[in-house]
Amino acid sequence: MSAMPRRRKSRPFSRGGSPRKVSSSSEGERLQKVLAAAGLGSRRQCEELIRTGRVEVDRRVVTELGTRVDPTRQEIRVDGDLLRQPERLYFAVNKPSGVVSTNRDPAGRRRVIDLVPTRGHERLFSVGRLDLYSEGLILVTNDGELANRLTHPRYEVEKTYRVLVAGSPSREVLDQLRRGVHLAEGVARASRIEVKKQLKQSTVLEITLKEGKNREIRRILARVGHKVLRLLRISVGPIRLGKLPPGACRRLSRAEVDALWKAAR
């Protein structure tokens, strides 16, 4: 299907006599995003397709840009042609330090999506973020709905980190991290925290979070007086980093994807 499909004569209105908004809830993916992921052009071009009444969802013309859809369950047509959905892809990547999580980097640094071997036309993105110097497990997919559920605080999907910190945190400090530390955007707390190894001048902690505030672990530990020397994410929900080498990736199994959906419900 070409980037901007040829306009065909189609029904400008639904059977009810006017364009219909299919859904405005927080569930599903935005229609223009689904169209763009299917290769129909840029997000802006796909918005124009919707505005001009060229898109149907379940045989009803949609002109509302806020419409959310489930492309796996709903029939989407553009100029009467059934939209072909791209294959859903899911990868686990071991992000090395110095690699960026964002898809666009003006500095031209290596990106997480560059570590995933694809055919070149898939619109993949990282699920959540690991900052530049953090390492470990990050998921990569083209499934926007699952990505949203894995990162939204309401679903409380756990992420676990192995953290090397300067000094030796006291029991009182660990308790404070469990109770919560005040940051500019609210209270951040560790749902679980455990001392894994005590070294001469540093400590290895294992910390589990249910939220994803920006640089959360580095910031809460700095607030209690312990600088992070190394940060490695070892799990996202049921998916573990395991023995995946730095810079390597692997495709998730169907059972692993199902387990992620279960964790995000």
- 3-class DSSP assignment, residue 63: coil
CB-facing half-sphere around the CA of 236: CA atoms within 13 A: 28
Helices 254-263 and 144-151 cross at an angle (nearest 10°) of 50
pLDDT tens-digit readout, 191-222:
999 999 999 999 999 999 998 778 899 999 99
pLDDT for the residue 122 = 66
pLDDT tens-digit readout, 86-133:
788 999 999 999 999 998 899 999 999 999 987 655 678 899 999 999
pLDDT tens-digit readout, 51-67:
999 999 999 999 999 89
16 Cβ contact partners less than 8 Å away, ≥ 6 residues apart? none
Q: How far apart are CA 177 and CA 172, in angstroms?
A: 9
Whether the pTM exceeds 0.85: the reply is: no
pLDDT for the residue 9 = 42
Q: How far apart are the first and last CA of the chain?
A: 34
- Which segments of the chain are extended strands (E)? 29-30, 55-57, 60-61, 68-69, 76-78, 81-82, 90-95, 125-126, 135-141, 159-166, 181-183, 186-188, 192-198, 202-209, 228-236, 239-240, 249-251
- Give catalytic residues, as residue numbers: 131
pLDDT for the residue 120 = 58
Backbone phi, psi, residue 46, to 5°? -70, -35
Count of Cβ atoms closer than 10 Å to residue 62 Cβ: 22
> 27-31, 56-60, 80-84, 182-186: which has the highest mean pLDDT?
56-60
pLDDT for the residue 212 = 74
What band does 173 get if pLDDT is binned at 50, 70 and 90?
Answer: very high
Short-list 92, 62, 94, CA closest to 78: 62
**pLDDT at 5 exceeding the cut of 60:** no
pLDDT tens-digit readout, 218-256:
999 999 999 999 999 999 999 999 999 999 999 999 999
